[in-house]
């Protein structure tokens, strides 16, 4: 079992151990868990992926999220990102709700920061991929935090930001988030720094969903958020992954941003995501205490 770093200080390929090993063996889980805490994004190649294997692997890391209302996969552990219509087998038109959602996924974000229980990790498997485009790009929010001036870090540590699902959808189309989604997903508050309790490393915690910063006028907050995302995702700081069949990637939602990249409308792309909820032991207890105190 070993890991090979592929990205700028984060993003590693795991070799000699696969999803099934992690599902079945404690030593394989311990190895991959340690690599996840260290490198934030892990790539596994050539996996014999099935829904069952993806769930068995993901469950090792913590409780699974249930896909949210009005998404494909609602009520199951699977978030399905696809442009293939399941009933007809045909490609969805570019103005279809799922196509607009794919565009929202192309904004830099972390998964589920807008939830009452945010996500520790996401596991994404490639099921059908286009020959060109459709890559996924990652950035390290630990490295972003380290690059911030000391005074900014001190200021943001206990500053609370608001995360709202409707805000990121609204950047694509005004009514992309339905009333049902808005009711189910009211805005939530999170400190802007997430500390990893395993290694003490801090990460900047913001996303496309972040719509406000407490104690800051709205315009100023939105400008600062744009500047922070630009810093985190500056040239040379990201890693772009071009998918191959059998690839599976797991990322740390506490410490990274990601975005999908566009691909030709007339080509199918079908990806399946499982998402692991954060628990108190993943630093969530600290996040909740600090937001209460703020």
Residues that bind ligand OGA (CB under 6 A): 81, 105, 111, 122, 124, 136, 258, 260, 271, 273
Given the complex with ligand OGA, which of 39 and 127 has the nearer CB atom? 127
81 binds, among Mn ion, ligand OGA, none (CB under 5 to 8 A by kind): ligand OGA
Q: Strands (DSSP E) along 24-100, which ranges? A: 41-44, 79-82
Given the complex with ligand OGA, which of 154 and 242 has the nearer CB atom? 242
HSE toward the beta carbon, residue 271, CA cutoff 13 A: 23
Closest CB 145 distance from ligand OGA, rounded Å: 21
Closest CB 97 distance from ligand OGA, rounded Å: 16
- Quick one: tokens of 31? 């190895």
Q: Residue 157 — φ and ψ, nearest 5°?
A: -50, -50
Given the complex with ligand OGA, which of 112 and 224 has the nearer CB atom? 112
191 binds, among ligand OGA, Mn ion, none (CB under 5 to 8 A by kind): none
**Rounded to the nearest 5 degrees, what angle is found at the Cα of 110, between the Cα atoms of 105 and 111?**
80
Contact between residue 225 and residue 213 where contact means Cβ atoms under 8 Å apart: yes
Segments in 135-184 forming alpha helices (H):
141-147, 150-157, 165-170, 179-184
Please state, in angstroms and rounded to a whole number, the distance separating the CA atoms of residues 38 and 34: 6
> Given the DSSP bridges, would you call strands 41-44 and 12-15 parallel, antiparallel or unpaired?
parallel
Given the complex with ligand OGA, which of 137 and 146 has the nearer CB atom? 137
Given the complex with ligand OGA, which of 77 and 260 has the nearer CB atom? 260
According to the binding rule CB under 5 A, does residue 282 interact with Mn ion? no
- Of these, 65, 111, 252, 282, which contacts Mn ion (CB under 5 A)? 111
Residues near Mn ion, by CB under 5 A: 111
């Amino acid at each position: 079992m070993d890991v090979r770093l592929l990205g700028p200080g984060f993003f590693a390929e795991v070799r000699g151990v696969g999803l099934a090993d992690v599902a079945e063996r404690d030593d394989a889980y311990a190895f991959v868990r340690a690599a996840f805490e260290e490198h934030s994004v892990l790539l596994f190649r050539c996996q014999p992926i099935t829904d069952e294997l993806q769930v068995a692997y993901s469950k090792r890391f913590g409780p699974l999220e249930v896909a949210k209302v009005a998404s494909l996969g609602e009520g199951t552990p699977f978030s399905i990102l696809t442009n293939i219509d399941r009933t007809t087998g045909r490609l969805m038109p570019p103005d279809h709700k799922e196509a607009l959602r794919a565009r929202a996924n192309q904004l830099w974000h972390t998964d589920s920061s807008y939830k009452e229980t945010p996500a520790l990790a996401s596991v994404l498997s490639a099921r059908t991929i286009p020959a060109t485009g459709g890559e996924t790009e990652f950035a390290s929010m630990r490295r972003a935090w380290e690059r911030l001036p000391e005074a900014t870090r001190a200021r943001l540590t206990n500053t609370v930001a608001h995360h709202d699902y409707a805000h990121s959808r609204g950047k694509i189309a005004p009514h992309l988030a339905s009333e049902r989604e808005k009711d189910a997903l009211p805005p939530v508050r999170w400190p802007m720094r997430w500390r990893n309790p395993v290694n003490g490393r801090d990460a900047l915690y913001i996303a496309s969903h972040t719509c406000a910063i407490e104690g800051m006028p709205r315009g100023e907050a939105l400008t600062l958020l744009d500047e922070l995302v630009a810093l985190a995702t500056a040239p040379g700081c990201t890693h772009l992954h071009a998918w191959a069949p059998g690839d599976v990637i797991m990322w740390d939602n506490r410490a990274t941003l990601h975005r999908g990249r566009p691909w030709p409308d007339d080509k199918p792309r079908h990806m399946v995501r499982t998402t692991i909820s954060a628990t108190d032991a993943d630093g969530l207890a600290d996040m909740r205490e600090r937001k209460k105190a703020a």
